[in-house]
Amino acid sequence: MGLGLGRVKNGQPVIQAAYGLGYESLSGFNAAFRKLLGEPPTSAAHGTAIYVSRIATPLGLMLAGATESHLLLLEFMDRRAIERQLRILKRRAQAMFVPGETPVHETAREQITQYFDGRRRTFALPLETPGTRFQKEVWSALQAIPYAETRSYAQVAADIGQPDAVRAVANAIGSNRLAIVIPCHRVIGSRGKLTGYGGGLWRKKRLLEREGAGPGA
């Protein structure tokens, strides 16, 4: 379907895309396309495609979603409420998800591997973060937390100039869709307690240990 969408978006007639991919009938291709993407190929061709693929890490498989130019999604595949996050991203980006990879996936896979090998502390990836202005301010503050350091939710709220918005900051952190790259794992409770990580607190602990940081660092 990813190949089919790419061909149709590049101007190839749907019937040629169908037969070129081995479908015996146009109706069969259309039905399969609609089942996967929720709309016919002629409509999907005018939308934004987020190609999704898997990235293996020592802490489990991650789902990566990218366009031809930007990374929009990087989540552990067993994350709580990942389906909800996908629905929100689809709506905010006005996009559809299709299986496949882009050069952005290759770069993300390489940099994530380097991170887990201890050869990378910062990421140089083209990110797109659809969200509210407040969410983007919080996510930007997370990216400013140095490797091997932590911040409390209250400190992040103060960093964006809204010290009374701790609860809203926590919600925005929970809405982060780019795990590790936007390091929400570096935010801990005010008393050094590990709290609130969609990928599981055990992963948060392992990530901080890998970086040489611990609660209260």
Residue type, 23: Y
Per-position DSSP letters for 23-89, written without gaps between them? -S-HHHHHHHHHHHHSS-HHHHTTSEEEEEEEEEETTEEEEEEE-SS-EEEEEETT-TTHHHHHHHH
Separation CA 70–CA 73 (nearest Å) = 9
- Annotated catalytic, 165? no
Best CA proximity match to 99, nearest among 26, 50, 160: 50
Q: Which of 184, 188, 208, 213 is catalytic?
A: 184
By annotation, the residues acting in catalysis are 184
